[in-house]
Chains A and B, each alone.
Chain A
Amino acid sequence: MRVKYVLSEVLVGLWRNVTMTIAMIITMAVSLTMLGASGLMYRQVDDMKDLYYKNIQVSIFLDQEVSPEQRDALAAKLEGDPLVKESIYVNKDEAYKRFQEMFQDAPDLLSAVKADSLPESFRLTLNNPEQYKSIYDQYKEAEGVDEIVDQSRLLDKIFDILTSIQNIALAAAIVMAIAALLLVANTIQVAAYSKRREVAVMKLVGASNWFIQAPFVLEAVVAGLIGSLLGLVALIAAKYLLFDGSLQALQGLLSPIGWGDILVVFPLMAGVGGVVSAVTAWVTLRFYLRV
């Protein structure tokens, strides 16, 4: 009976103040979408870091006029270097072959480059990709070395961009969460005001505090959970429209977002939505009802 009473009070409460309820749910949904997006981004960046850093290479390009002795000395030195996991020598022919593969769609470019104009190089895989700097310092001045290129430099830029997008999403999530919080507090006050007679009678006849508060708190929690469901829908829509749609060109660059990722973020959104609403409602009632 009491459960039924509380649930019907929740529905009546949400419906009585329906414009406010909608505003509350929408803000909550936007905030939680942002939170979910930044959570996804976080996992994404992690995944990508794993993926890329594993395959990342440092290339040491050699002078055009490098002598075989210099080359062998360098090869021996790289072989013995504790920072280097693997070192592969790429001669001019192989470099040209790779170049041909990479640019097979651009015959003009291919015909403009001669087979021996591409430099020989060592492709290094490092034990720890972040130690690029010491490799660079060590081999920069070595004889026969023309240039040292670190792919992780490029990736760092991409990761920087992703991280700042993630931070923006998180900041937006927090700002919207504050708005949602105030709306919840306000909605609960209005609800408590519209039920002040009932509440006064309940206090008078000795209804327990949880029984008086439960409908209000649950009202906020239900709104929070609906908000998180809408947020989930928004994330799914974003996956469909953005990642599988207009951003598909970046597929090779960005690791794909799976349904599993979204499903993992949802409990986070629902949990935050529910708990934030419940705590806000409860604190509001402490001040407003003084039960």
Chain B
Amino acid sequence: MTKTYPKASRPSLDNVSVSIEKGEFVFFIGPSGSGKSTIIKLLLHEVAPNKGRVVVNSKDVTSMRSWKRPHFRRSIGCVFQDFRLLPNRTAYENVAFALEVIGKTKAVARRVVPEVLELVGLGGKEHRYPHELSGGEQQRVAVARAFVNRPLILLADEPTGNLDPDTSIEIMRLLDRINRTGTTVVMVTHDSNIVNQMRRRVIEIESGRIVRDQARGVYG
């Protein structure tokens, strides 16, 4: 598919074709502005391609009506470099919020949220506010929020971009654990250390084209 942003001189993604299987762990790497983040946006249906199709969970979402988007997004979890937590809510409330706004009851939240916070290694810190947590812990809350609804796909846009190397590795272990539950993980990153350690499929993008697609790849 091809995606050109209005006013851009060249396409952000130029005739790119990628297929990711269920349960895979995929890194998208490449320099800034190469089009990595556009992939995330296309998968989230935040933008639509100019040419070609985007198929998620065997559903063609290319021409999905915008009113169907919310429901579609419930099958995708998202983690970002800047965590995007609500500062006036505790870790527990941040995760519960994601459930409540899609119509889950408080009873469901009381059952599920502690479980997922335990899974991400935040047991005992449920009632801390984001500013009382370290960067790594905040990202764990974000992962918990992305995962609490048991999505089929977890999208991570430079999730370790704001973290030191040790903390980054902890977050990667967490993503790996989530991947092993059968969740497809798609991660965009610059972090060569992590890519080299994980040894998963690596897709390198440069100027909107795929220049490498390698199983068990390294940063290169």
**A residues engaging B (CB < 8 A)?**
1-2, 5, 197-198, 200-209, 211-212
Contact = CB atoms under 8 A, between A and B. Distances in A.
A207 B101 contact: yes
A196 B100 CA distance: 17
8 contacts: A2-B100, A201-B101, A201-B145, A202-B101, A204-B78, A205-B102, A206-B76, A207-B102
Nearest to B72: A206
A198 B73 contact: no
B70 A2 contact: no
A205 B145 CA distance: 9
Nearest to A205: B98
B216 interface: no
B103 interface: yes
Interface in B50-109: 67, 69-74, 76, 78, 84, 86-87, 97-98, 100-103, 105-106
B98 A201 contact: yes
B73 A201 contact: no
Contact of A205 (B67, B101, B105, B106): B101
B86 A198 contact: yes
Contacts of A2: 100, 103
A204 B69 CA distance: 10
B184 interface: no
- Interface size bracket, B side: 20 to 34
Contacts of B145: 201, 205
B139 interface: no
Contact of B84 (A201, A207, A209): A201
A207 B70 contact: yes
Chain A contact surface mostly = helix
A203 B67 CA distance: 12
A205 B74 contact: yes
Nearest to B86: A197
B12 interface: no
A206 B71 CA distance: 6
A2 B106 CA distance: 10
Contact of B74 (A197, A206, A209, A211): A206
Contacts of B105: 1
Contacts of B76: 206
B149 interface: yes
Given A1-B106, A211-B101, A206 B70 contact: yes
A207 B103 CA distance: 8
Given A1-B100, A2-B103, A197-B86, A208 B71 contact: yes
A248 B128 CA distance: 68
Choose among A200, A204, A211 the residue with the greatest number of B CB atoms under 10 Å from its CB: A204
A205 B103 contact: no
Nearest to A195: B86
A210 B149 CA distance: 20
A204 B73 contact: yes
Contacts of A204: 73, 78, 84
Contacts of A5: 100
A2 B87 CA distance: 22
Nearest to A207: B101
A259 B195 CA distance: 78
Nearest to A198: B86
Given A206-B69, A209-B70, 17 more contacts: A1-B100, A2-B103, A5-B100, A197-B86, A198-B86, A200-B84, A201-B98, A204-B73, A205-B73, A205-B98, A205-B145, A206-B74, A206-B76, A207-B102, A208-B71, A211-B101, A212-B101
Nearest to B97: A201
Contacts of A203: 70, 73
Given A206-B70, A206-B71, A206-B73, A201 B86 contact: yes
